[in-house]
Amino acid sequence: MSIENEKNAPMPGTVQFDIVPRAGGPAWRIFLRIPTSEMPKDGWPTLYMLDGNAVIGTAVDAVRVQAAYPLATGVREAALIAIGYPTDDAYDGVRRSWDLGPPPGASYPPFTPDGPEVKTGGADAFLAFIEEELKPEIARRLTVDPKRQAIFGHSFGGLFVLHMLFNRPDAFANWIAISPAIWWEDAVVKKGMAGFAANPRPARVLLAAAEYEQTLAPFQEHQSDREARLARLTVSRGLDDTHEMAAWLAALPGVHAECVVFEGETHMSVLPVAVNRTVRFAFGPDAP
């Protein structure tokens, strides 16, 4: 047996680059997939994804496999823009806590004795970066259909998606919040609901949660931290909050909201299946 030409396997059709914001500070790493097929007359539909390091590989495969067989899947070609951090890890926990947490925010001690302090509350600055710096850079690289832009977030990312929906509702047409941490900071994100309800904008919203967001999965029942884990799930109300938010949004004029529960999944294992459903929601047969 011989092994030849071994090298890192890149994601097909995807480039990455780092953007340092105009105000200075650390860079964000952007993963960009631009289709090579013929562009629609109005430009490419786009999906912006938070926690980009963790989701871009799954998203690229979901789009390139399904868009190649549109009669079987209903999924059309599209551009992907995943926002992550300059790391090979799936997450940068410290930076994402700041970027995705709505204000006013708070500080938390290290989760481990030698870990860093975690701060939250930078969501408005991150929102401004997306709108004022990232979107213009993407528009410089490809023609975008402004009526078919979507944003996806999971957990803290889902919380950010809802915060952005309530505060910059014209930024996207399609909003996907998976397992959103609505409970965070005494449900601070709900403070934006009244303003949005007073002037609702047309929007398609997908909310989703895992089956085991409020109860333990069978494999967790006999783990040593069973009671502490169950207590956290009870406080976070992942299923109940997601259902209630979807129902509230669906009652607003011009808002299409749906809620999905992914059977057999936990808060973390839900990510790959949720990415696939997101692709269908954003680019499938029912999308505009």
In whole angstroms, what separates CA 248 from the centre of its chain?
A: 20
Q: What is the mean pLDDT of each run of 10 residues along the chain (288 residues)?
A: 72 93 94 95 98 97 96 96 96 96 90 84 97 97 97 98 98 98 95 96 97 86 84 83 97 98 96 98 93
Choice among 77, 179, 265, 267 that is catalytic: 267
Ramachandran area for residue 90 (φ above 0: left; ψ -120 to 50: alpha; else beta): alpha
Which pLDDT does position 268 carry in this prediction?
A: 94
Q: Is the peptide bond before 200 cis (omega within 30 degrees of 0)?
A: no
267 is catalytic: yes
pLDDT of 236 reads: 79
Residue-level pLDDT at 3: 66
Q: Give the Cα separation of 160 and 200 in Å (integer).
A: 18
- Provide the pLDDT for residue 112: 76
Closest CA to 153 of 64, 234, 47: 47
Residue 125: predicted pLDDT: 96
Token pair, residue 273, equals 């299946």
241, two tokens: 């909050």
- Tell me the β-bridge partners of 15: 32
CB 96 within 8 A of CB 111: no
252: left (phi over 0), alpha (psi -120 to 50) or beta: beta
What angle, 0 to 180 degrees and rounded to 10, lies between the N-to-C axes of helices 271-283 and 52-67?
A: 50
Q: Which pTM value belongs to this model?
A: 0.95
DSSP-assigned beta bridge partners for residue 227: none
163, 213, 236, 265: the catalytic one is: 213
4 is catalytic: no
Q: Which two tokens stand for residue 187?
A: 């449900």
| CA 76 – CA 62 distance, rounded (Å) | 11
Rounded to 5 degrees, what are φ and ψ at 202? -55, 135
155 carries an active-site annotation: yes
- Residue 2: per-residue pLDDT: 58
Q: Which domains does the chain have, with CATH numbers?
A: 14-283 (3.40.50.1820)
CA atoms within 13 A on the CB side of 149: 17
Which one is catalytic: 77, 154, 155, 163? Answer: 155
Tokens linked to 266: 């936990």
- CA 22 to chain CA mean position, Å: 24
Q: Is 36 exposed, middle or buried (0-12, 13-18, 19+ CB in 10 A)?
A: exposed
Question: Are the beta carbons of 180 and 153 closer than 8 angstroms?
Answer: yes
Q: Environment class of residue 26 by beta-carbon count within 10 Å: exposed (0-12), middle (13-18) or buried (19+)?
A: exposed
Q: What pairs with residue 260 in β-bridges?
A: 208
